[in-house]
Chain A
Amino acid sequence: MTDFSKPKTPGMSRRAVLAGGAALTASLFAPRGLRAQDFPTAAVNTTGLAVTDSTVTIGILHSVTGTMAISETGSVQAEKLAIEQINAMGGVLGRKIQFIQEDGASDWPTFAEKARKLLVNDKVASVMGCWTSASRKAVLPVFEQHNGMLYYPTFYEGLEQSPNVIYTGQEATQQIIAGLDWVNQTKGAKSFYLLGSDYIWPRTSNKIARKHIENFMEGCEVVGEEYYPLGHTQFNSVINKIKLRKPDVIYAIVVGGSNVAFYKQLKAAGIDPTKESPIVLTISVTEDEIRGIGGENVEGSYACMKYFQSLDNPNNIEFVKAFKDMWGADMVIGDVTQAAYLGPWLWKAAVEAAGSFDIDKVREASPGIELPTAPEGYVKIHENHHLWSKTRVGRARMDGQYDVVFETADLVEPNPFPEGYQ
């Protein structure tokens, strides 16, 4: 299935080490840096983007205020880190990246307005941004109309494939299926209770999970499915229902402040994730969220995503160090933060492959772009603008980190419109 990864991954390791190190310590990489005079501005920018002889401007569009600021702060930090590193090693086509940061204020019309500003007024060459599906849906028509390029970092529900977006997080099938198979095969889990916050991502993810459980996993069943409004803080009723149904697995896609309430009340009600009866499996709790929930409440639950801060590979060790050097030693890095970090790098690679900042050329060059230096390990852009990436299962520790207990052997193909899961 993953003909890209097989030949590459084994032979990659040493080069990845070198490249990874180089990416993060600029001086080593300088010789390969491209010089701006080799790429005259008139030639690399035929559509009037904000590119000069020495700089190129991109946009960062996240919420710094409002309810989503909690989640999006990490993404902004990762993107700024990537930009700084890219600049330290000579920039993109010899041009330093400048960025204009806009605040989406957790408000979807504001996102659309700011996206239009970045594309129309500031003529940015690309935008790193958005977090929630709603914000992405709001800016999508803007990007398509004004032909911009958005690098979107969050794991999301799929069902979308825009020529103007590169999705650097996982779509739902990539994230979900491997984890369900794993819990079934290694833990013998047969019955699942699906729980989520009430909006499109948990609902679509649970739909895919249900289809997979019922159609592709022998003898397995869904014994309950339930949604609570965003921001809900009382979960005792659903916990009682879970106790009544006695599922093997609680499959939880609760987000935001509700998460904190859910795990605290779960533990208080005597369902201790460390006892694994039932097993708590989630796709929505990254290291970032655990800081709010408290490690002692999550310890023992499993999370299924593509990146954990504890990943033991040289790229990641460098990345974690650089991130902490820049933003403070007490920072934690979650899945989305890492995916946000990939955005500027993927854009740089595509621009250099295209030899141009023009959006159309960058888009054309994007499929097939590889990033061996990614902290999560080798990734590659698929024809459908999503990333080939591995899926991993981690077990939460007391200190808020995950132990990686499982990793798919190959890169998982992104499949935003999955057949048989509709």
Chain B
Amino acid sequence: MFAGYSAGELTAIFAMQGFAGLILFSVFVLMALGLAIIFGQMGVINMAHGEFMILGAYVTYLVSNTFATHLPDLFSIYFFVAMALAFLASGALGMLVEWGLIRHLYRRPLDTLLATWGLSLILQQIYRSVFGAREVGVTVPNWMMGSLPLTDMIEVPINGLFVMALAVGISVAIYALMFRSRWGRQVRAINQNRVMAGAVGINTERTDRLTFGIGCGIAGVAGSAFTMIGSTGPTSGQLYIVDTFLVVVFGGAGSILGTIASAFTISQAQSVLEFFLSGSMAKVITLLVVVGILMLRPQGLFALKLRK
């Protein structure tokens, strides 16, 4: 398929394709980080993760409308405000859900899975009633669209750069929180031994609520960022769900590094396959390989060496 192209063209294409893979990687990281925290640290499967993302997207939509009508001068920076609000909105909803629903089900992970699926249906219907069944168009500031020409051939999409920067930023922030903050220490302590953690005076309930809130808040930020590259509608959250879960499970629960490594592996595999095959086949093969590896190594790439 490469006959008739100059070496320069091919280099450029491969460079851009590598970059496409990195963008996909960043998207996966953003999707999966929030879920990884919740699943890894609390053992809770949050099937409504996609809906928390879409809440962030709708917040972005509202903020963009508000800025367009009331503060047109500041429109070019509204996105940062929107992301902060998306974090707060999704995080607050997450804490509410933890309080009303999840905390009653900590000992029944399969049941949280069903309950959060129910929650996702309810949220979808609420979005539909409030924002309408149609997708909403989120206007992105001009400077975020378009591309940076590096050479004649190589062009880098700015929104891709933005997503990558965000993925790196959030990963670093999570790492810092996890290993450098009081909350992180508490979370890790609870994860290792809930009863003992409680016994030494850690308020496990509060920590759980905060953890769930932060995980959902990150989903909200991801959803906010995805308005640049994807659609915002009541059911858009469903588009991400399978990929997200696979990334987390493939990475191995309890390991944020594993989640990042698995996002990298899956995204690169898919991106390369997409280039040589049709999109549908690339997807099927990627998923098959992931499931195949999971069957051989069920605890994921980076599992803690524990056996029940």
Residues of A within 8 A of B (CB): 64-67, 69-70, 73, 198, 226-229, 231-234, 236-241, 243-244, 256-261, 264-265, 267-270, 272, 288, 290-297
Contacts and interface: CB of A to CB of B under 8 A. Distances in A.
A267 B146 contact: yes
Given A69-B128, A69-B133, A257-B236, A269 B279 contact: no
B101 interface: no
Nearest to A266: B157
Given A233-B231, A257-B233, A270-B149, A296 B139 contact: yes
B100 to A, nearest CB: 25
Contacts of A256: 231
A302 B232 CA distance: 23
A258 B279 CA distance: 12
A200 to B, nearest CB: 13
B274 A238 contact: yes
Given A236-B160, A243-B13, A270-B146, 12 more contacts: A70-B134, A73-B133, A227-B279, A257-B236, A260-B230, A264-B140, A264-B228, A269-B147, A269-B157, A272-B146, A293-B231, A294-B137
B151 interface: no
A268 B238 CA distance: 24
A148 B155 CA distance: 56
Chain A to chain B: the 3 pairs with minimum beta-carbon distance, closest first:
A292-B135, A236-B20, A260-B231
Residue among B137, B157, B239, B283 with the highest chain A CB neighbour number at 10 A: B137
A261 B17 CA distance: 17
B5 A244 contact: yes
Contacts of B149: 270
25 contacts: A66-B235, A67-B238, A69-B133, A70-B134, A227-B278, A228-B278, A231-B239, A234-B23, A237-B275, A257-B230, A257-B236, A264-B145, A264-B159, A264-B229, A264-B230, A265-B157, A290-B137, A291-B134, A292-B134, A292-B135, A292-B136, A294-B138, A294-B140, A295-B137, A296-B145
Interface in B153-168: 155, 157-160
B280 A229 contact: yes
Contact of B159 (A239, A260, A268, A292): A268
A234 B27 contact: yes
Contacts of A240: 13, 16-17, 20, 275
Interface string B240-261: 1000000000000000000000
Contacts of A231: 238-239
Contact of B280 (A198, A293, A296): A198
B228 A288 contact: no
Given A232-B283, A244-B13, A270-B147, A265 B229 contact: yes
Nearest to B121: A65
Interface in B181-204: none
Contact of B235 (A67, A265, A272): A67
Contact of B229 (A228, A241, A268): A268
Contacts of B128: 65, 69
A293 B9 CA distance: 31
Nearest to A241: B275
A244 B276 CA distance: 13
B137 A291 contact: yes
A261 B230 contact: yes
B230 A233 contact: yes
B16 A291 contact: no
Nearest to B24: A234
Interface in B262-287: 270-271, 274-275, 278-280, 282-283
A70 B19 CA distance: 33
Contact of A228 (B138, B240, B280): B280
Nearest to B283: A229
Contacts of B236: 257
Contacts of B23: 234, 236
Given A232-B279, A243-B16, A267 B137 contact: no
A268 B157 contact: yes
B133 A261 contact: no
A295 B138 CA distance: 10
B78 to A, nearest CB: 15
A238 B271 CA distance: 10
A70 B235 CA distance: 9
Given A237-B17, A264-B228, A257 B279 contact: no
A270 B235 contact: no
A70 B233 contact: yes
Given A237-B275, A257-B239, A268 B231 contact: no
B231 A292 contact: yes
Contacts of B275: 237, 240-241
Contacts of B160: 236, 268
B147 A268 contact: yes
A257 B134 contact: no
Contacts of A65: 125, 128
Contacts of B270: 234
A243 B16 CA distance: 10
A239 B13 CA distance: 10
B76 to A, nearest CB: 14
B265 to A, nearest CB: 16
Interface in B1-55: 5, 9, 13, 16-17, 19-20, 23-24, 27
Contacts of B134: 70, 73, 288, 291-292
A292 B13 contact: no
Interface string B117-146: 000000001001000111111111000011
B13 A228 contact: no
A280 to B, nearest CB: 16
A292 B232 CA distance: 7
B135 A260 contact: yes
Contacts of A260: 135, 230-232
